[in-house]
Amino acid sequence: MLSESSRRSRRVAELPVRVMVVAGGCNRFTGYSVGFSDGVWPAGDGVLSGEVLVVQVSANELEALVLVYASRIKNPTNLYSSFDLKDRLARLEAAIASKEDSGKEELVKKVAELESQLDVAKKEQDSEREKALKEVKKLAVENAKLQYRITHLVQALKEADSKLEAMMLGLFVLYVGTLNIAISLVAEQVGPIASRDEHSEVL
């Protein structure tokens, strides 16, 4: 029973390879060019001239292909397959490295975006905090003014109460003094009248 990785490696190893002859020529070991779906590699020795090897693989199979091709290179069946596998292995390794670099660049870009958003949020927070501090200071000043006014109003009320009490006391004293004077005047007038009445009764 083959494991999943073994079955996957076998499926990868059995991927179809399409060979297209683009020019005639039967001089073996004179030159060749090996091309992939996104480029062409320079010519070298070992394959019929004019052959172009076109390999199409998916991104998910890149790493598996690297392992398969590496194992094939260790035991090449002929000069053609050895060179073919070495070229494709190098190409796949370059593709994986490119994808890793692309992933790193994407990660760096996302980190930079997050840092930028964080900076903006921090600036907004600092701005809101500064506004809040200004508002608190403004309210503190207004509160101090109100406290000052309240203190002076209370003091004025106390002074007014003291003046009112003094005025009421003065009026009371004046009233009592006036009443005493009136009583004295009445007494002075009633005394002679009573004396005359007594004298008349005696006569």
| Domain assignments of the chain as residue spans, ordered by start | 4-109
Residue type, position 200, single letter? S
Q: Which of 28, 38, 33 lies closest to 50 in space, CA to CA?
A: 33
Residue 27 is predicted with a pLDDT of 34
Strands (E), 12-162: 18-21, 33-36, 39-40, 51-54
Residue 23 is predicted with a pLDDT of 32
Residue 106 is predicted with a pLDDT of 76
Query: The pTM is what?
Result: 0.33
> Would strands 51-54 and 33-36 be described as parallel, antiparallel, or unpaired?
parallel
Strand partners, 98: none
Q: Which of 50, 52, 34 lies closest to 42 in space, CA to CA?
A: 34
Structure tokens at 79: 């000069």
User: Residue 43 has what DSSP assignment?
Assistant: P
How far apart CA 127 and CA 119 sit, in angstroms, is 12
Three-state DSSP state, 167 = helix
Three-state DSSP state, 39 = strand
Residue 34 is predicted with a pLDDT of 34
Residue 161 is predicted with a pLDDT of 87
How confident is the prediction along the chain (203 residues), in pLDDT tens digits per residue?
555 555 544 444 444 433 333 333 333 333 333 333 333 333 344 433 333 444 455 555 556 656 665 665 555 554 445 556 667 677 777 777 776 666 677 777 887 888 888 888 889 999 999 999 999 999 999 999 999 999 999 999 999 888 888 888 888 888 888 888 888 887 777 666 655 655 555 55
